[in-house]
Amino acid sequence: MSIKSPGLFIAFEGGDGAGKSTQAARLSDALESRGLSVLRTREPGGTPIGEKLRSLVLDHGHGIIDPRTEALMFAAARAAHASQVIRPALSDGTVVITDRYIDSSVAYQGAGRGLGAEGVLSLNEWATEGLHPDLTVLLDVEPSDGRQRRTVGDATEDRLESEPDDFHSAIRHAFLDLAAAAPSSYLVLPASADIETLAGRILERVESLLLSHGAAASPQGETVSGERS
């Protein structure tokens, strides 16, 4: 069943080194300059417990973390994020922009770690009580490009980033499959395009979404958002 929520929920997804953070910041600035209330957040993280889980799951040195444990840690951080941060902000009419969400678990743990998309998706449906983005911006990056971009000037890679290219290739295809299965909820762009071009395309799509939700004209207006029936 859908509930009414005045905000708009946007997720940025893509492989490591895709440039999500840069584009999330650009979008956030552009919307704020139009007078909209915007919350920029990230996963894993976004809450105190989520930030702790983030370092547990991403830092080296915690011994072996098996795939199911890893998937549960990301889902636990996401449950807190959805209930304590994202839902309240959406209810207040805020545009929520998150750097990663459920698709990252489906891609990294489902495809990368081999747990399968179905189980990871249903774990996350449960964790978030079915909260899905209105739009997912997928920045599609070639694994070798991503590695080159993220290690420029910074040689440290976290536990997931340091996996080999075939792991990142499986992730890339999983993201593309998710987008192909629900094209109206996705904007897929090549991460290799220049920053200005990407920012323009993303803003254009979000503005049209805001108009169709009535949020640009009336930020406090009630629109259907965030829940799949």
Which residues sit at the interface with ligand TYD, rule CB under 6 A?
Answer: 16, 21, 42-44, 58, 74, 99-100, 104-105, 108-109, 158, 160-161
Residue 92, CA distances (Å) to 56, 64, 223, 228 in order = 31, 41, 12, 19
The CB-of-26 to ligand TYD minimum distance in angstroms stands at: 15
Chain CA centroid to CA 189, Å = 14
Tokens of 29: 């600035």
Handedness of CA 48, 53, 58, 61 (dihedral sign): positive
Which is closer to ligand TYD, CB of 168 or CB of 213?
168
Closest CA to 150 of 53, 31, 14: 14
The CB-of-112 to ligand TYD minimum distance in angstroms stands at: 7
Plot region of 32 (φ>0 → left; ψ -120 to 50 → alpha; else → beta): alpha
Which is closer to ligand TYD, CB of 43 or CB of 140?
43
d(CA 61, CA 227): 38
The CB-of-160 to ligand TYD minimum distance in angstroms stands at: 3
The CB-of-226 to ligand TYD minimum distance in angstroms stands at: 18
Which is closer to ligand TYD, CB of 51 or CB of 161?
161
Name the residue number minimizing CB distance to ligand TYD. Answer: 108
Which is closer to ligand TYD, CB of 36 or CB of 167?
167
The CB-of-94 to ligand TYD minimum distance in angstroms stands at: 21
| Spatial contact of 206 and 27, defined as CB atoms under 8 Å apart | yes
Which is closer to ligand TYD, CB of 35 or CB of 63?
63
